Amino acid sequence: MSQGSAAARARAGANTPRDLLQTAAAVVGAVFLLVGVLGFIPGITTNYSDMTFAGHDSGAKLLGVFQVSILHNIVHLLFGVAGLAMARQRDTARTYLVGGGAIYLVLWLYGLVVAQDSSANFVPVNTADDWLHFLLGLGMIGLGVALGRRPAGVATTR
């Protein structure tokens, strides 16, 4: 193979669109950003005036279903920013999806074992949050694993 054709392939690779794994990480990150912002909008978040910074006594609910607090919304915003930043490279996009999914499965378990009226429920989460965390965890890990596989014969570059 000549150096000219290798350089042409490298240029073509530099101009190819982001792959599906990176796109998935970016979309998940953007959704988290959107959810974080929506959590601060009265009307979309019911009982907005009952929102506290943290703790189980926050009465605000995103879409009238998911209990939120200022801290909970900030966590969504940070998770979104992390997703967008980590989507820039294939390896970090996979890490975001699989690692983030694992974090959400841990949050699901935490929500199952911690009483909703306990001071340990500082984020806060309710039953709807718990099951959403479960689905998010499975979905993110599934995306990271399924899209993170390379077809046979495709070389990886480091």
Q: What is the 3-state secondary structure (H, E, C) of 70-94?
A: HHHHHHHHHHHHHHHHHCCCHHHHH
What's the angle, vertex CA 77, arms to CA 76 and CA 80, rounded to 5?
85
pLDDT along the chain (158 residues), means of 10: 52 60 98 98 96 89 94 96 97 97 95 85 85 97 92 54
Check: CB of residue 35 under 8 Å from CB of residue 87: no
- Give the pLDDT score at 119: 81
Q: How far apart are the C-alpha atoms of 66 and 69, rounded to whole Å? A: 10
- Give the pLDDT score at 75: 95
- Give the pLDDT score at 157: 54
- Give the pLDDT score at 38: 98
- Give the pLDDT score at 154: 55
